């Protein structure tokens, strides 16, 4: 993901300097920051306030049932800032 972001930054820089009749040189500064768009601890805090433990006993003929687990998608956002020398 980061590699594509850096390549995209260079493509954008090239298209932006074209009207100026300049060229994009080497990168002189790259910063990388990433975060999860939603704070997971805050988002799921209400969901995790109640935890129920269920046991099964072979003595009473109970069969173990797999837990029902639901997954939710999270969006990961990466921010890459690249500064280039202009020639």
Mean pLDDT, residues 1-23 taken together: 92
Give the Cα separation of 80 and 33 in Å (integer).
6
Give the Cα separation of 70 and 47 in Å (integer).
12
CA 71 to chain centre: 16
Higher pLDDT, 56 or 79: 79
Whole-model pTM? 0.53
Higher pLDDT, 81 or 43: 81
For residue 81, CA distances in Å to 36, 66, 78 come to 18, 45, 10
Give the Cα separation of 23 and 36 in Å (integer).
35
Domain spans in the chain, listed from the N-terminal domain onward: 2-49+69-86
Residue owning tokens 């080497």: 26
Q: Would you state the pLDDT for residue 36?
A: 47
Report pLDDT digits (tens) over 34-77: 654 545 555 555 555 566 666 666 666 666 677 788 888 877 77
């Amino acid at each position: 993901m980061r590699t594509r972001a850096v390549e995209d930054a260079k493509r954008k820089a090239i298209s932006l300097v074209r009207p100026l009749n300049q060229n994009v040189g080497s990168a002189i500064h790259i910063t990388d920051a990433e975060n999860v768009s939603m704070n997971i601890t805050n988002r799921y805090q209400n969901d995790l306030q109640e935890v129920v433990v269920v046991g099964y006993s072979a003595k009473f003929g109970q069969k173990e049932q797999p837990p029902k687990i639901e997954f939710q998608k999270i969006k990961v956002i990466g921010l890459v800032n690249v500064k280039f020398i202009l020639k």
